Structure 1
Amino acid sequence: MADQSKARKFGAPVWLVTFADLMALLLAMFVLMLSFSDINSDSFKRNAGPMAEAFNQNQPIIIKPVNIAPKETSPKKDSERSQSSQNQDRSSSNLGYLQTVARNRLANLVKATIAAELANKLVELLIEGNKITMRFPAQSAFRSGEASLSPPIIPTMDRIADILARTEGIITVTGHTDNSPISTARFRSNWELSTSRSVSVVHRLLRHRGLAAPRVSATGRADTKPIVPNTSRENQQRNRRIEIVVELPEGAAAR
């Protein structure tokens, strides 16, 4: 029996060689296209973020170091601050003490100088904070409907002026009336009457040469600041008054 076996063929099929050539040509074409293209860097950066997130590529997190070292304090500076605060408190306390001393000294001078008037209730002495008020009922200082000082009160005013010249502070003289209307040839209303009365007191006080005029002022409040409601004659009589208020400054001292 004759052996007529076919000769075996080795190597790749013929079509595969052609396919490989085609792939090589395509690759070369893409490389050329890429080399001639211009990549927009801004567009690439804008799209890179969303693309990275889509592929779960988290951006690195930069952690800045925090200085947690305790702040250095200087015992010397703390001591200086504490000493400064203590000095301020001590200075404020000293000023308040001097003011209280001056106020009490002035009050004692007034009490000693016009003791008779205080006893007869011709003058009322009020002390509040750094203010001392000498309150004169209108009937003890003026005639009804008049703004000139009554002769009996003039020596009292002169003694008070002598006391005021020996101390410091702002002096305010204020006139007050009740709510009874007034209309005369000289005073159209209680405003004119109360103001004129306070001016009369100021003129008398300034006759003392030791009392500086810039310290003194006069004002009239008519019936706008009653002590008690104007519901009776007795209350109206209390509201008709003249007040001399001395406001002592910090560190003031009577001379």
Structure 2
Amino acid sequence: MPQPNVFQKKTTEHKAHEATGMMRWLLTYADMITLLFVMFVVLFAIASVNTGKYQQLSAAIQAAFNNPEKAQEIEAAMEKEKEGKEGKKTRTEPAPDSMKKLKEEFVQAVDKEKLQGQLHVFVDERGLVISLITDNALFSLGEATMKPQAKGILKKVADLIRRKKLTQNIRIEGHTCDLPILTAQFPSNWELSTARATTVLKYLVEKERLNPYRLSAAGYAHYRPLLQNISEKNRARNRRVDIIITRENKKKIGSM
């Protein structure tokens, strides 16, 4: 009677044990990948919290445990939505050539209206800037009440804005020089610069009927000078109100 092959029996048992170990390793690896996917979906949802993201999060978690292929479809849809939003944001910003052309049109209009010496037009990182020199055009030193001639200048600026049918936001910034002010009405240059910007904004809205949803006002005191405050000429240039046609569009709420 032949004796059983002990070596062959042990080899067979070893292979069976090895196969079982491999399956356990694969299951552990699959669980880890699933948990990582869920974690990244949660992080993505937290980055932009809204109802739609919560619904996508719920569907993605359920799909991750029940249907991996469906999870990939949801992830692709979320990425497509993100790209679409970024594309829309980019399209709201006028191209540099467009802003340059707008500047040229405003410069020509300023020359035609004989506004030289009262305002400057230039483009910077904020957008198209119509910079009104307050001493010459708008306000007396240390005051926020408009001069009589200021209304005529602002009317011409408002006419230009309406004529171009602009869709961008318009921000009005008040700026002062570094000379301190201390009065009951204006304890510092912060109050003075903000009051001047607000005065211009209210005139454009109440008298010129520009769309208030597109306008905003801010005061920066003497902290954003155009020139160094080392001479009276430079200080006079720094005392200004900037009307800025920004690079970002506003949602359509109404026309100018």
Q: Does the aligned pair in 2 maintain the 1:100–1:130 contact within 8 Å?
A: no
Aligned to 1:229, what secondary structure does the other structure show?
Answer: coil
Change in Cα spacing, 1:218 to 1:155, as seen in structure 2 (3 Å) is same
How far apart are 1:150 and its partner, in Å? Answer: 1.8
Q: Does the aligned pair in 1 maintain the 2:172–2:197 contact within 8 Å?
A: yes
Consecutive unaligned residues of structure 2, counting only runs of 5 or more, are 1-13, 23-79
Letter in 2 for 1:149: M
TM-score by length of 1: 0.56
Change in Cα spacing, 1:117 to 1:188, as seen in structure 2 (3 Å) is farther
Over the residues paired in the alignment, what is the CA RMSD in angstroms?
4.1
> Structure 1 residue 152 and structure 2 residue 149: aligned?
yes
- Cα distance in 1 for residues equivalent to 2:159 and 2:104: 14
Corresponding residue number in structure 2 for 1:200: 199
> Structure 1 residue 235 and structure 2 residue 200: aligned?
no
TM-score by length of 2: 0.56
Q: Report 1:61-140 matches (<5 A).
A: 95=91, 99-100=95-96, 102-115=98-111, 120-128=116-124, 131-140=127-136
Residues 25-53 of structure 1, C-alpha deviation per residue, up to 9 Å, x if partnerless?
xxxxxxxxxxxxxxxxxxxxxxxxxxxxx
Change in Cα spacing, 1:130 to 1:177, as seen in structure 2 (3 Å) is closer
Q: Report 1:168-183 matches (<5 A).
A: 168-183=167-182
Q: Does the aligned pair in 2 maintain the 1:123–1:136 contact within 8 Å?
A: yes
Aligned length: 182
Letter in 2 for 1:155: G
How far apart are 1:142 and its partner, in Å? Answer: 1.1
Q: Does the aligned pair in 2 maintain the 1:122–1:137 contact within 8 Å?
A: yes
Aligned to 1:249, what secondary structure does the other structure show?
Answer: strand
Corresponding residue number in structure 2 for 1:219: 218
How far apart are 1:189 and its partner, in Å? Answer: 1.6
Aligned to 2:248, what secondary structure does the other structure show?
Answer: coil
- Cα distance in 2 for residues equivalent to 1:169 and 1:112: 20
- Cα distance in 2 for residues equivalent to 1:218 and 1:250: 17
Change in Cα spacing, 1:146 to 1:129, as seen in structure 2 (3 Å) is closer
Q: Of Structure 1 and Structure 2, which has the larger fraction of its residues in helix?
A: 2
Structure whose CA Rg is larger? 1
How far apart are 1:167 and its partner, in Å? Answer: 0.9
**Of the two structures, which has the highest relative contact order with CA contacts closer than 8 Å and spacing of 6 or more?**
1
Corresponding residue number in structure 2 for 1:23: none
- Cα distance in 2 for residues equivalent to 1:218 and 1:99: 25
How far apart are 1:227 and its partner, in Å? Answer: 2.1
Q: Percent of aligned pairs with the same residue?
A: 26
How far apart are 1:155 and its partner, in Å? Answer: 1.6
